[in-house]
Structure 1
Amino acid sequence: MCGFAGFIDGNNHQQYKQSERLQILNQMGERLYRRGIDDKQLFDSTPLSFIFRRLSIVDLAGGQQPIWNEDKTMFVAVNGEIYNHIELRSNLRNTHQFRTYSDAEIVLHLYEEIGVNALHLLNGMFAIALWDARRQQLFLARDRLGIKPLYYAQIGSLLIFSSTLMSLFAHPDVPRHPQFQDLTNLSVTTSYVRGINRLAGGHYLLYDANTTNLIIQSYWNLENYWVTEPNSDSRQPQDYIREYRELFVDSVQKRLMSDVPVGAFLSGGLDSGAVVAVANQFHNRLHCFSILADYTRENGDIQAARQFCQKLNLPFHPVYFDSEKLLEQVHFSLETFEYFIWIMDAPKFNMDWFLKHELHRYCQTLFPDLKVMLLGQGADEFAGGYSAPEDSSTKDWQDYIQQLNEEEQQTSQLKQLTSLNDGSYLFDRGIKSYPPDCTSFQKQMLREVYYLQDYNLWHEDRSAMSQSIEARVPFLDHRLVEYLAAVPPQHHAALFWNKMIIREMAGQWLPHDFVYRKKSFGASHQTEWVLIQYKIVQRIFTQFCEKYLANSRSLFSDEQILSWFDQANVNSVKGIQALDKLLNAMAMTVFKTICLTGKSPTSMDYLYGCSPLKTLDDF
């Protein structure tokens, strides 16, 4: 994991002196420190100013970025990894002189040869910045599924860009007016600040400094791989399972590419279990980390994870989350709350982020050389993982499809203005209309591309980044996603009901009871989280009021905030709703203050390197 930031102003318009530009760059780089703790490189020459922070994972000695071409007319910087760079190098060795063993360098030379079409050849997760000094063009691109982040803002002829929203605030000209939308209905191209955008996954941006024109173009669409008509292909479900298995093994093997140790988060469920089982074939002594809490004991996840590691003789680390003592263990205060708003780039606080953060913090503190973590993220979204959850009433595939149709109709009726008097409104996800003749499940696949960018991949990136760890997601190799999208509709029920394609695929490596055990996030799980959230509010509310209420930056009246606090409890639906509103209001208020001041409300190193939670082997 790395990070970059910069700004470019065309038409020979230079608002700032070089000393001022370098100061801005360094401030942007400070806010990217956790994304790249190992190196910092600056470039400043009219019209582009650029900074790169590196987390050294591949070519530790020689992989500093940006990387220049042979005649110093073009450079590239990549946040992320290009997993197939060695294969691609073999085709270019006779025409280009490679200066490093870094995976990022292949992007540079491919772009010299074939321009934006280079993106189609890359297998990886990436945000790319490429500067063509000869043409005076800046090229920015994001991986197909939006695993790696990239923000930008255009103000007149000025373009400011960064891997994080908070880094952008170091530039004095960046927009600062917050806008708040319902997280479940947020566009993949907007942020929580009006005028700051996200480059969507599968898109690139080209800025021409000669004309100040900015072009944004899609280079990948999942719908291009759909089969909408009955297919004459003679393959049967078992053929698809076998071929998917072969792709998955290759995907996991590619994501072991590293010159530093690699670990894995093992939940005790099917997806992370499949990742670890395959990784174990190619990587010795993979450290596995699991959440040990009341709910993981109750649903059997932690026991399954331990038994799995014992069978494979893998180091197992059950990180203990004691709901009674958790806040004391991490010294949770108002500063902690502010810290999470800052690192997550969002006006929200979520227990899932908090637990993932603490899991990463345990890994970083006790195993500082371990900079890469494999996750099971992304398995459910395109393989029918949500078709038959334990708490669902769906009986079969057709029943699930009917449920999808009803949800789609309900969603289309929910678009509305927000109640906040700040110009905010609920966005759709950029899906103006669906291609003709696509099935309900194919529509859901397309929605999942957006859901992943909006939530899962977004918070996984931030949680890992906060502790200088790179999270890798083998199930989201674009080849696997495209393969599932291309399964003919007549095989959907056989392969996607209850995620059968992955269950059957994993049966080659995992015990039958592991493959078919139910994974539940039941009522006890949610109750435990709500209780912790209530304790957080009780713990920090007085400090919050003293710092944030009764000032011009408050979004809500004192009376409203105090009313929600009085109503909040864990014993009634209304009490839990009031608690949720209060937490959101507090997070939004902190976020607005960050926007207006452009500064972190607390130390950016808060919690970094502090004593983490402990393992509990006897459970």
Structure 2
Amino acid sequence: MCGICGITRSDKEAIRKMIKLLEHRGPEDSGYYIDDYISLGHTRLSIIDIEGGHQPMCNEDGSIWVIMNGEIFNYKELRERLEKNHQFNTNSDTEVLIHLYEEFGVNMVSSLVGQFAFAIWDSNEKVLLLSRDRMGICPMYYTITDDNLIFSSEIKPILANGVEPEINYYGLAEYLIFQSSLKPNTLFKGIYELEPGSVLIWKENKYTIHKYWDIHNFLPLNKPENEIISLIYHRLTESVKYSLVSDVPVGIYLSGGIDSSIVLGIMSKEYSEDINAFNLSFGYEEIDEKEYAKIVAEFNNVNLNILTLEPEKVVHNLDRIVFSMEDPIADFGEIKDYFLSNFVKSRGFKVVLSGGGSDELFGGYGGYRDVLLAEKISNLLPKKLIRGVYFLVSKSPDNLPKITGIRKILRIASGFDPYLTNGGLFFLKDERGKILKSINEEVEKKAYDKIKKYYSNDKIPNGYTLTRCQYVDLHFYIQPHLIHGDKVNMAHAVEVRYPYLDHRLIETSFRIPESLRIKGAEKYIIRKLAEKYRLLPKEIIGRRKMGFRSALEVWFSENKEFKDLVTSTIYDSEFIRKMIDLTKFERLILKNVSKSNWHAHRTWGVFLIAKWYDLFEVSNPCEY
């Protein structure tokens, strides 16, 4: 991947400043183009056409210019079609965009397979086109100021152009409810993310945005189970092959779980080079997956590189991590990626594959079972009775996992916090009234309405509750993880590719009958796929999902330096004191931080927002 930026005015000083702030994304080359109407900047991480891919890039007569972050995986097929009418000067995937635009205009985006964010300037029409891949793997932010559009792969270059870092309280409310601001909002007032699968067109100081992709067909495949398994395998294999398109070596993040292990199993069949896998260990046996990763690596005869992450390393790098995230997400997974990507870079790699996205496609979250069970309970029993039982159970200790699970199911059945799917809520509805000082009903309703719009999609047939939950998670749970994952990985110039998130595989997976998504175990189809095509050893096929978040609970319990830093940052923050009743927060959540993973997770989220405020509000982010 790379870094792109631009301003709809001629401003050499501003564009050079923006390029400087994106150097970490593309440390190998940079360039800019300026005319009377536009300034475009680019920093390059060279992956395809190492020698000839300099950007910005133009067509034969210099009338159309392009900058791109990411990869167009099907560029060779597209090039074959375009060569009949166009002259190519490089072997780069970026040049394909120019000639596709000349042929098809804005409709070009529907031809692309890949992960990308790009800008095309048409000097003849005085039109700027911005676009982003269907799942939002590559970031794109923008703002409008003084009748100018400013855009960038990251937020810091926008702030460097005189945009004040003010808080977007709608984005903050969304963070405190759903763990992150919800597209297109960010935590910064007036700065937005271009939504995934969208095109923005700027002309005559006005802009329009339209969606070019979504899932439209949810009707189940009318095929036998074995044929569906074969179809998913061939779709995934095609996606892995595309993800291996590179002029530099490709590695893989290997957790030891089923998702990344299946990708490795296919990769080992399709990739002719030696494979290096990368695993992160926390050094605690009860939460560690490295032994499973070793089994998978040995099964596929690949090199396994293991990084052990100590809490002291996290403590000493927290400012840099939050600064890289810019617009934080209340989760711990991105912290893992920050250190793992630095480890990958130290081993000489700059491209890795990931197993991310499988849970949303194939029903991998335990929360989906909870939703389906809650639905059955709510259909059988009166709401008043369910709520009464819920309030009784809610008084149980937080460190009893079974009770916590029952409480969650009863909560959903009671009608509290609608659209709770895989546990992606930060503060629950009844907690918000006690703990938070800054959220009113109107703000809360607007946040929920965004989720409701997707959950109530009329193209999803009635009774398809699991599909609705997965659809919401695909749009609102995984996408913040992808955009933040990009930024912490690109802090060390490492590009992550997601074979499960090929849009053709997504469209097919949402047509798998619900009965085959969760059948005895989560992700039934891909477990059967791994078994049928002998991609994994049996002990991996049958194992349950193990998340990275549990490290938080252990560190809060066993590492005083880590716990003291997090809690002191929260209590010392004037911003947090204005936003949260700390006495109630301590009584309801903080006192259980060493006993409950969920409370540890939420405490971490409050800490991150305090850090964010300090770095971007009090200090000057451009000088950090």
Question: TM-score, structure 2 length as denominator?
Answer: 0.81
Consecutive unaligned residues of structure 1, counting only runs of 5 or more, are 10-17, 604-619
* Equivalent residue number for residue 371 of structure 1: 350
1:15-72 superposed Cα distances (whole Å, 9 cap, x missing partner):
xxx6xx3222222122212111111111222221121111101000000112101111
3-state DSSP of counterpart to 1:200: coil
Match of 1:332 among 304, 315, 318: 315
Instruction: Give the letter aligned to residue 265 of structure 2.
Output: A
Q: Give 1:531 shift.
A: 3.5
1:122-167 superposed Cα distances (whole Å, 9 cap, x missing partner):
1101111111111001100111111111111113521111111122
1:448-481 superposed Cα distances (whole Å, 9 cap, x missing partner):
2223454321232122111110000001011100
Asked if the contact 1:83/1:255 (under 8 Å) is kept, the reply is yes
Match of 2:416 among 406, 410, 420: 410
Instruction: Give the letter aligned to residue 245 of structure 1.
Output: Y
Q: Give 1:425 shift.
A: 3.2
* Equivalent residue number for residue 191 of structure 2: 196
Residues 395 and 96 of structure 1: is their aligned pair in 2 closer, same or farther, counting only changes over 3 Å? closer
Give the stretch that moved more between structures: 456-465 or 174-183: 174-183
* Equivalent residue number for residue 538 of structure 1: 564
Give yes or no for the alignment of 1:512 onto 2:530: no
Q: Give 1:440 shift.
A: 1.4
Give the stretch that moved more between structures: 248-257 or 301-310: 301-310
1:512-564 superposed Cα distances (whole Å, 9 cap, x missing partner):
2321222334996452143478633524777999xx867xxx45369977997
Residues 43 and 562 of structure 1: is their aligned pair in 2 closer, same or farther, counting only changes over 3 Å? farther
Give yes or no for the alignment of 1:473 onto 2:456: no
Asked if the contact 2:283/2:308 (under 8 Å) is kept, the reply is no
1:103-136 superposed Cα distances (whole Å, 9 cap, x missing partner):
1111111111111221111110111111111100
Give yes or no for the alignment of 1:503 onto 2:554: no
Q: Give 1:356 shift.
A: 2.0
3-state DSSP of counterpart to 1:164: coil
Residues 290 and 257 of structure 1: is their aligned pair in 2 closer, same or farther, counting only changes over 3 Å? same
Match of 2:25 among 27, 32, 35: 35
Give yes or no for the alignment of 1:483 onto 2:508: yes
Residues 562 and 167 of structure 1: is their aligned pair in 2 closer, same or farther, counting only changes over 3 Å? farther
Question: Partners of 2:414 and 2:98 in 1: how far apart?
Answer: 42
Give yes or no for the alignment of 1:357 onto 2:383: no
Give yes or no for the alignment of 1:346 onto 2:327: yes
Asked if the contact 1:292/1:321 (under 8 Å) is kept, the reply is yes
Give the stretch that moved more between structures: 448-457 or 524-533: 524-533
Match of 2:553 among 527, 531, 535: 527
* Equivalent residue number for residue 103 of structure 1: 93
Give yes or no for the alignment of 1:274 onto 2:262: yes
Instruction: Give the letter aligned to residue 153 of structure 1.
Output: T
Residues 495 and 405 of structure 1: is their aligned pair in 2 closer, same or farther, counting only changes over 3 Å? farther
Question: Partners of 1:455 and 1:506 in 2: how far apart?
Answer: 29
1:383-413 superposed Cα distances (whole Å, 9 cap, x missing partner):
1112588xx7689899699879947953349
Residues 143 and 393 of structure 1: is their aligned pair in 2 closer, same or farther, counting only changes over 3 Å? closer
Match of 2:577 among 556, 563, 572: 556
Asked if the contact 1:556/1:585 (under 8 Å) is kept, the reply is no
Give yes or no for the alignment of 1:220 onto 2:244: no
Residues 420 and 282 of structure 1: is their aligned pair in 2 closer, same or farther, counting only changes over 3 Å? same
Asked if the contact 1:202/1:220 (under 8 Å) is kept, the reply is yes
* Equivalent residue number for residue 83 of structure 2: 93
What is the root-mean-square deviation of aligned Cα atoms in Å?
3.6
Instruction: Give the letter aligned to residue 332 of structure 1.
Output: V
* Equivalent residue number for residue 405 of structure 2: none
Asked if the contact 2:168/2:190 (under 8 Å) is kept, the reply is no
Residues 351 and 523 of structure 1: is their aligned pair in 2 closer, same or farther, counting only changes over 3 Å? closer
* Equivalent residue number for residue 12 of structure 1: none
Match of 1:246 among 230, 234, 245: 234
1:221-262 superposed Cα distances (whole Å, 9 cap, x missing partner):
11x12217xx7x4x2111111011011111101111111111
* Equivalent residue number for residue 13 of structure 1: none
Instruction: Give the letter aligned to residue 435 of structure 1.
Output: D
Instruction: Give the letter aligned to residue 524 of structure 2.
Output: M
Question: Partners of 1:407 and 1:128 in 2: how far apart?
Answer: 44
3-state DSSP of counterpart to 2:333: helix
Aligned pairs (5 A) from 1:240-319: 240-283=228-271, 284-295=273-284, 297-298=285-286, 301-319=289-307
Give yes or no for the alignment of 1:425 onto 2:474: no
* Equivalent residue number for residue 161 of structure 1: 151
Instruction: Give the letter aligned to residue 419 of structure 1.
Output: K
Give yes or no for the alignment of 1:78 onto 2:87: no
Q: Give 1:494 shift.
A: 2.5
Question: Partners of 2:324 and 2:276 in 1: how far apart?
Answer: 26
Give yes or no for the alignment of 1:237 onto 2:264: no
Residues 599 and 87 of structure 1: is their aligned pair in 2 closer, same or farther, counting only changes over 3 Å? same
Asked if the contact 2:593/2:603 (under 8 Å) is kept, the reply is no
Give the stretch that moved more between structures: 491-500 or 173-182: 173-182
Residues 175 and 156 of structure 1: is their aligned pair in 2 closer, same or farther, counting only changes over 3 Å? farther
Consecutive unaligned residues of structure 2, counting only runs of 5 or more, are 380-408, 420-427
Give yes or no for the alignment of 1:458 onto 2:491: no
* Equivalent residue number for residue 493 of structure 1: 515
Identity %: 26
Q: Give 1:506 shift.
A: 1.6
Question: Partners of 1:43 and 1:422 in 2: how far apart?
Answer: 46
Residues 258 and 595 of structure 1: is their aligned pair in 2 closer, same or farther, counting only changes over 3 Å? same
Instruction: Give the letter aligned to residue 191 of structure 2.
Output: I
Instruction: Give the letter aligned to residue 466 of structure 1.
Output: A
Asked if the contact 2:252/2:354 (under 8 Å) is kept, the reply is yes
Residues 293 and 43 of structure 1: is their aligned pair in 2 closer, same or farther, counting only changes over 3 Å? same
Instruction: Give the letter aligned to residue 443 of structure 2.
Output: Y
* Equivalent residue number for residue 15 of structure 1: none
Instruction: Give the letter aligned to residue 592 of structure 1.
Output: Y
Q: Give 1:213 shift.
A: 1.8
Residues 535 and 250 of structure 1: is their aligned pair in 2 closer, same or farther, counting only changes over 3 Å? same
Q: Give 1:504 shift.
A: 1.4
Q: Give 1:216 shift.
A: 0.4
Residues 580 and 355 of structure 1: is their aligned pair in 2 closer, same or farther, counting only changes over 3 Å? closer
Instruction: Give the letter aligned to residue 512 of structure 1.
Output: K
Question: Partners of 1:532 and 1:280 in 2: how far apart?
Answer: 39
Question: Partners of 1:404 and 1:250 in 2: how far apart?
Answer: 42
Question: Partners of 1:496 and 1:578 in 2: how far apart?
Answer: 28
Match of 2:468 among 439, 443, 453: 443
Question: Partners of 1:274 and 1:28 in 2: how far apart?
Answer: 40
Instruction: Give the letter aligned to residue 322 of structure 2.
Output: I
Q: Which one has a larger percent helix, Structure 1 or Structure 2?
A: 2
3-state DSSP of counterpart to 2:202: strand
Q: Give 1:205 shift.
A: 0.3
Aligned pairs (5 A) from 1:125-144: 125-144=115-134
3-state DSSP of counterpart to 2:577: coil
Residues 50 and 399 of structure 1: is their aligned pair in 2 closer, same or farther, counting only changes over 3 Å? same
Instruction: Give the letter aligned to residue 276 of structure 2.
Output: H
Question: Partners of 1:117 and 1:446 in 2: how far apart?
Answer: 25
* Equivalent residue number for residue 152 of structure 1: 142
